Every structure is written in structure tokens, then in C-alpha cells.
Structure 1
Amino acid sequence: MLNSRRKILFILNPKAGHGKAGNIVREAERLLDQSKFEIHFSETEYAGHAKLLAKKAADEHYDYVACAGGDGTVNEVASSLKDTETALLIIPAGSGNGLARHLQIPMNAASAIALLNKGKKVSIDTFSINNLFTINVAGVGFDALVAHRFAEKNKRGLKTYIKTILAEYATSKEFEAEINGTVYKAWLISIANSSQFGNNAWIAPVASCTDGILDIIICKKQKGVKLLTFAVNLFSKRLSSADYTALRSNQMTIKLFSKQPLHLDGEPAGFTDELNIYCNPLSLKVIVPQHVE
């Protein structure tokens, strides 16, 4: 008789704090019926290892790959699952968890794992910038500068992120960018597949990762009361055309008049003076709650 159990690989980071890896193993074994699931666990041993583990699972036709981490880890694993039949399960464990929040995946590890029993499989868009895989939000300017500085910190978390923002704000400067023949002055330019950076900071409130379109958000530097209003609107999902310029496209080239820091899903990605952006529609399968459309 053929094995009808669905195969799933859990990719674990043994260096994650507070025994997270061990907790995921226990919860997976407790929540998943092993007569229905063939469960495997692999630990990462070095940077980039998660990408190789995910590729091997996809090549071996696993049904699911689960990864615990933030948007950077999700990016690494998802890049190997793009255009395959293997679906991604996100177990949020990062500083912001932007894509997981957009997809309404529970922040609790046990509840996220339980989606394998009661969730559903959907296809979402991914995109590339200068041929580099991206899945959630990427950008240049101030948010990328913060990502570069944040990556240098020993401590992670929202408190450290806010401290980094405050430390860099005063000296940050606007720059110029040309898009479709129009020159824009910008403090940051975000390319959004989903609606938020993470921690419910909604940079692109109307963005959808299933429409084959990317939202390009161009923000000028705000000061005083306008800065406070911008921050309130960012975290209350009320940013509008009064706060930024929004463009929408499935592909675009942005020329920058000076080299700017670049981030991909919150991870620093060097400096660039040109962005070649391309959306890959419905190219990744993910597990989400039943009510998510």
C-alpha cells in the first residue's frame, strides 16, 4: 500500500533563544496526527543552510516545509519553494513578522502549527529586485538604513528597532529618484507585496499579495506634527495619499540619483542606484487560516 501520509519538514534554528526549537518539536508531535503526517526535523548549521534544506525538501516532493523565524528567515526558505508544489508554513518567531501578520497567521507557535490540521493552502505573489528574491516588503532610503543599523545590534526586538529609528532619524536625508520619467524627492521608497513592515506598521494598507501587483510607496521626510501624524497613521492602518505618493505596477525600474542602502524583507542587501522590480504572480504556496482570502 502506498504511503498516503503528507510529508512535512520543520526547519529549526538550534540557536534560537528560550528553547524555541525544542518547543516546536514538542508541539508538532502533540498536534499532528502521525498517521496522517510524516514529520521530519532538521536543524540549521550555518547561514544559508535553511535555503538548502528547503530546496532538498522541495526536490523530494515534500508537501510542506515549516520554518520558525522572521521575514528574513521566511525569505530564505520561500526562495527555494517558489514555483514548486511544496507549501510553506510560517511559524512567526521574528522581530516584526510582517508577512505572517498580513496573512493573519497566529503569532503563537502551537496555533500556527495547528494550521496544518485546519488551515488551507493558497498561492501568493513573490517579487524580485535586481534578480534578488523578495516576498514581503523591500526598499531603499531610511527604512533600509535602519535595517542595516539594526542588523549590527546584539539585541533584537521592537525596543531595539525603535531606538535605532530614533538614533538615525535626525541625520537621515532625502534623495531623488526617477520613475517613468518623473523625478521624485524621497526619504524612503518601499516596494510592498504585503501591507506591512511588521509589528503592525502598515506601510501599504491596501496592498494584496494575491493580485499580481506591487505597491510602490514614496515617502518624504516628515517633521514635527506631521511626523507624529505619520507615525500614528502608520500604526493605525490609516496612511493615505496625504502621507505619501503611491504607485502600482507589476514591473518597474527606479533610477536613483545617488546610491542608497537597500533592504529585502528587513535584511540589509548592500547599496544600489537602480531598482529593477518584477512581480512573480501566485508563485508560492503557503498555509493560512481558513478565513483568509
Structure 2
Amino acid sequence: MAKSNILFIINPISGGKDKSNIPDLINARLDHSKFNASYRFTSYAGHAAEIVDETASMNFEVIVAVGGDGTINEVGAKVMAQQKVLGIIPYGSGNGLARFLKIPMSPRKAIEVINLYQVSKIDTATFNGKPYFNMAGMGFDAHISSIFANNKKRGFSGYLKTGLKEMINYKPESYRIVVDGNSYTRKAFVVSIANSSQYGNNAHISPLASVSDGLLDICIVKNFPLYKIPALAYFMLRAKTHQTEMVEIIKGKQIQIFREREGAIHIDGEPFLMGKEINVSIRPLSLAVIVSGHI
């Protein structure tokens, strides 16, 4: 049986964790009867995507993102375009997509998942033309992402501290949201368009989301008084946001969002600045991913 060529693209700064030993760990754990392994470290934002392009003619059947959701986004967009297979070793701050796909947070166990080589196709989406795989949106979470991107103390505790500090002064915005031709006007704290169920760290915004149903979940976190923050956190961490009136979830395929002004958005946790009109659409079963069990 012929071996598959596999490339590991390693983001050295994702999640604030040292990864200098990752090639040695992979060499020790990878099934070398199945794979010929190569390694590349990224040096700057956008480098992972460049590496996939540079190696397009080198016959890598599998390309593994070693990092967080942002690294997966860079690598996955190119893997999808080249119709190859994406692997994931979670090493980010939240690891939302990896958690949803049941990929272990332990690098050793994640390598074992790669060895099993169970491939499934998942839905992806575009946000004003930019591909994403886990979560995108606007409002308070995008505001926090734009601040958090410059915070050296990445991780759940840093995100929580920044969020609590900023929440006091954040003002909800008005949105007109068109889902498959149906129009909704809402004043919202957050508007997230979920492919998977969670942001990361097991904080679920849309517990019933699926990456294989051909639908996106538009999650509208309504304006709420600050004293309800613990309740919202409870529902998210218990994967019960679909049971609270604080969150409205609408499923659809084609979404247009109109807001009052341009501002921050996030795509798989990475911040961007975009205009007043946002167009989102689903791309059913468009990315092949190594997964752990049934998704």
C-alpha cells in the first residue's frame, strides 16, 4: 500500500504555547507505514496559506494545521481549493472546530486520530467572500476579537478578563437580517453565523448546529442587562443557549446582514474591518477533514 505524503504546518505562536518539539512528537507517534511526513513553521500572518500554495505541486495528499481556528482557516481555505484533505492538531486559544469534530486536545491523541485516517466532508461558508469553517460574526464578540488580537496573554482567562472589562461600555447595534428571503430587524449584542456549535473552550452559542446539514445557524444574542451575564455564561457552557430567550437562532443558507455602520467582524476568531452590508452563504460538504468518530 502506497504511503500518503503529509505536510504539517505549525503556527509557533498560536495559543501562546511552545511548539518547537512538535516535529519530534509527531515523528515518535505518527504511523510511518501510512505517511511520509514533512514540516513547515509559519513566520507571520498569512504565511500558512502561502506555504500551501508553494507546496501545491509536491503531491501532499494531507495537510495538517497545527494551531487554532485562525490557522485552520488559512490552511483549510487552500486545502479546499486544492481538493486535498485537512488534518488538525489543536493548539489554539479556543479550538472551536476541533472540539466540535471531537479531535482530542492532547497533541499525542490528535496524532492518533490522524493515524486512523477517517475522513468526512463538512460544510463551509463564505463571509463577504472569505471562507470560514467554524464561526463568523459581528457585535461584541468581534469587538473583543479585535482587542484580543493584540493581547499577548492569549487563552480563556485573558479573553474573559478583556470581555468583562469591555462589556460595561459596549452598546448593542440595530441589524436587518435577511435569511433565505425572510427579513428580521433586531437590536443585538452579538450576531454570530455558526457552522459548528461553539466559539471554543466549550462555549456553545448554537448547541444544535451541524457541519453537515447544509445550513448555517444565525445566532442573535439580544440586548440584556449586565446582571444576566452569569445566566448567559451558564447556558453557553451547558450547551443550552437554544433554551433561553436571550438567544434567538434562525437556520438558513443565504444570509444578508445590514448594520448601521462599518466596523469589526471576526472570521474564525480573526478580526477584520468590514462595511455595513455582509453577505454569508453555505457551501455544503466542501471540505474533506480527518475527524474522530461520527460528526
Instruction: Give the stretch that moved more between structures: 40-49 or 131-140.
Output: 40-49
Partner of 2:138: 140
What is the aligned length? 289
Of 209, 216, 230, 1:207 maps to 209
AA paired with 1:249? G
Of 45, 48, 52, 2:46 maps to 48
Residues 172-187 of structure 1 correspond to what in structure 2 (within 5 A)? Answer: 172-180=170-178, 181-187=183-189
Q: Give the % identical residues.
A: 39
3-state SS of 2:288 partner = strand
* Ranges in structure 2 where 5+ consecutive residues have no aligned partner: none
Of 191, 194, 207, 1:192 maps to 194
Residues 30-45 of structure 1 correspond to what in structure 2 (within 5 A)? Answer: 30-45=28-43
- How far apart, in 2, do the equivalents of 1:31 and 1:154 lie? 31
Offset at 1:59? Answer: 4.4
Residues 1-293 of structure 1 correspond to what in structure 2 (within 5 A)? Answer: 4-14=2-12, 19-22=18-21, 24-180=22-178, 181-240=183-242, 241-289=244-292, 291-293=293-295
Instruction: Give the stretch that moved more between structures: 266-275 or 91-100.
Output: 266-275
3-state SS of 1:197 partner = strand
C-alpha contact 1:262 1:272 (8 A) present in aligned 2: no
* Ranges in structure 1 where 5+ consecutive residues have no aligned partner: none
C-alpha contact 2:119 2:290 (8 A) present in aligned 1: yes
Normalized against structure 1, the TM-score is what?
A: 0.93
Q: Structure 2 vs 1, CA of residues 14 and 188 (structure 1 numbering), >3 Å: closer, same or farther?
A: closer
C-alpha contact 2:29 2:112 (8 A) present in aligned 1: yes
Offset at 1:273? Answer: 1.0
- How far apart, in 2, do the equivalents of 1:13 and 1:151 lie? 15
Normalized against structure 2, the TM-score is what?
A: 0.92
AA paired with 1:243? M
Offset at 1:260? Answer: 3.2
3-state SS of 2:186 partner = strand
- How far apart, in 2, do the equivalents of 1:85 and 1:243 lie? 40
- How far apart, in 2, do the equivalents of 1:126 and 1:267 lie? 16
- How far apart, in 2, do the equivalents of 1:43 and 1:207 lie? 33
Task: Calculate the aligned-residue CA RMSD, in Å.
Answer: 1.7
3-state SS of 1:82 partner = helix
3-state SS of 1:148 partner = helix
C-alpha contact 1:68 1:92 (8 A) present in aligned 2: yes
Offset at 1:201? Answer: 0.4
- How far apart, in 2, do the equivalents of 1:18 and 1:189 lie? 30
C-alpha contact 1:55 1:81 (8 A) present in aligned 2: no
Instruction: Give the stretch that moved more between structures: 45-54 or 92-101.
Output: 45-54
